[in-house]
Amino acid sequence: MTFRHNPWHLSCLSLVVALFPAFATAESFDDRHLNVVPRTKAESKRIKAVTQAPTDFTKPQKFEENAAGAASVRVRHSSDAFSSMSGNISFEKELDFNVGNGIFTKLWVSSPSSTLASDGLGPLYNARSCQRCHLKDGRGHPPVNDQDNAISFLMRISIPTPERARSDLESYLSSIPDPVYGGQLQDEGVAGHQAEVKIKVAYSETEIPLSGGETASLRMPTYKLEDLGYGPIDPRAVTSPRVAPQMIGLGLLEAIPAQDILAKADPEDADGDGISGRPNIVWSAQYNRRMLGRFGLKAGKVSVHEQAAAAFLGDIGISSSLHPAPFGDCTDAQAACRTAPHGDKDERVFEIDDEALDLVTFYSRNLGVPKRRDVGDPTVLRGKQVFYESGCTACHTPSFVTNRLVDQPEQSFQLIWPYTDMLLHDMGEGLADYAPEYSADGYEWRTPPLWGIGMTEQVSGHTLFLHDGRARSLLEAVLWHGGEAAAAKTKVVTMPPADRAALIRFLESL
- The verdict on residue 209 lying in a domain is no
- Sequence length of the chain is 510
Q: Give the pLDDT confidence score for residue 163 in this predicted structure.
A: 60
> Mean pLDDT across the stretch 145-169?
70
Q: Is the pLDDT of residue 15 over 80?
A: no
Which residue, 119, 122, 188, is CA-closest to 155? 188
* 78 lies in the same domain as 132: no
Contact between residue 189 and residue 123 where contact means Cβ atoms under 8 Å apart: yes
Which of these ranges, 13-22, 182-191, 212-221, 236-245, has the smallest mean pLDDT? 13-22
| H helix intervals, 366-436 | 378-389
* 69 lies in the same domain as 115: no
Q: Among 344, 364, 384, give the residue marking a domain's end.
A: 364
- The verdict on residue 211 lying in a domain is no
pLDDT band for 147, please (50, 70, 90 cuts).
low
Contact between residue 143 and residue 357 where contact means Cβ atoms under 8 Å apart: no
* 396 lies in the same domain as 446: yes
Which residue, 440, 400, 436, 409, is CA-closest to 424? 440
pLDDT in tens, 370-381: 999 999 999 999
Contact between residue 36 and residue 52 where contact means Cβ atoms under 8 Å apart: no
Q: How far apart are CA 34 and CA 293, in angstroms?
A: 14
Q: What is the CATH number of the domain that holds 279?
A: 1.10.760.10
Rounded to the nearest integer, the mean pLDDT of the chain is 91
CA angle, 308 then 314 then 316, to 5° = 80
pLDDT > 90: percent of the chain = 85
pLDDT band for 28, please (50, 70, 90 cuts).
low
- Give the list of residues 6+ apart from residue 416 with CB closer than 8 angstroms, or none: 67, 68, 69, 71, 249, 252, 256, 369, 399, 400, 401, 402
Which residue, 127, 91, 97, 29, is CA-closest to 362? 97
- The verdict on residue 216 lying in a domain is no
* 132 lies in the same domain as 280: no
> Mean pLDDT across the stretch 53-58?
96
| 211-217: Cβ within 8 A, 24+ apart | 211/493, 211/494, 211/495, 211/496, 211/497, 211/500, 212/496, 212/497, 214/497, 214/500, 216/475, 216/476, 216/479, 217/476
pLDDT band for 150, please (50, 70, 90 cuts).
low
- SS3 string, 317-333, reads CCCCCCCCCCCCCCCCC
Distance of CA 70 to the CA centre of its chain: 23
Q: Give the pLDDT confidence score for residue 369 in this predicted structure.
A: 98
Q: How far apart are CA 14 and CA 235, in angstroms?
A: 31
Q: Among 364, 379, 408, give the residue marking a domain's end.
A: 364
User: C-alpha distances in angstroms, 479 versus 78, 370, 466?
Assistant: 29, 27, 11
Residue 301: which domain range?
A: 93-203+228-237+286-364
Task: Supply the angle between the helices 497-509 and 378-389 in degrees, to the nearest 10.
Answer: 100
Task: Supply the angle between the helices 354-365 and 91-105 in degrees, to the nearest 10.
Answer: 110
Q: Give the pLDDT confidence score for residue 151 in this predicted structure.
A: 65
* 471 lies in the same domain as 381: yes
* 300 lies in the same domain as 445: no
Q: Is the pLDDT of residue 478 over 60?
A: yes
pLDDT > 70: percent of the chain = 91
- The verdict on residue 417 lying in a domain is yes
In one-letter notation, the amino acid at residue 76 is: R
pLDDT band for 175, please (50, 70, 90 cuts).
confident
* 103 lies in the same domain as 119: yes
- Give the list of residues 6+ apart from residue 30 with CB closer than 8 angstroms, or none: 258, 291
Q: Give the pLDDT confidence score for residue 114 in this predicted structure.
A: 84
Q: If phi over 0 gives left and psi between -120 and 50 gives alpha, with beta otherwise, what is residue 331?
A: beta
Q: What is the DSSP letter of 202?
A: E
Q: How far apart are CA 217 and CA 470, in angstroms?
A: 11
- The verdict on residue 269 lying in a domain is yes
Contact between residue 420 and residue 249 where contact means Cβ atoms under 8 Å apart: no
* 146 lies in the same domain as 13: no
* 112 lies in the same domain as 84: no
The pair phi, psi for residue 284, each rounded to 5°, is -90, 120
Compute the half-sphere exposure of residue 211: CA atoms within 13 Å on the CB side of its CA: 13
| 37-44: Cβ within 8 A, 24+ apart | 37/403, 37/404, 37/405, 37/406, 39/257, 39/404, 43/404
Q: What is the DSSP letter of 119?
A: B
Q: Among 303, 330, 364, give the residue marking a domain's end.
A: 364
- The verdict on residue 254 lying in a domain is yes
Contact between residue 397 and residue 420 where contact means Cβ atoms under 8 Å apart: yes
Q: Give the pLDDT confidence score for residue 411 in this predicted structure.
A: 98
> Mean pLDDT across the stretch 53-75?
97
Contact between residue 2 and residue 155 where contact means Cβ atoms under 8 Å apart: no
Q: How far apart are CA 109 and CA 106, in angstroms?
A: 10
Q: Environment class of residue 41 by beta-carbon count within 10 Å: exposed (0-12), middle (13-18) or buried (19+)?
A: exposed
pLDDT in tens, 429-466: 999 999 999 989 999 999 999 999 999 999 999 999 99
pLDDT band for 171, please (50, 70, 90 cuts).
very low
Contact between residue 253 and residue 450 where contact means Cβ atoms under 8 Å apart: no
Q: Is the pLDDT of residue 405 over 90?
A: yes
Number of domains composing the chain: 2
* 191 lies in the same domain as 325: yes
> Mean pLDDT across the stretch 478-504?
98
* 353 lies in the same domain as 396: no
- Give the list of residues 6+ apart from residue 315 with CB closer than 8 angstroms, or none: 125, 126, 127, 130, 133, 154, 184
* 128 lies in the same domain as 159: yes
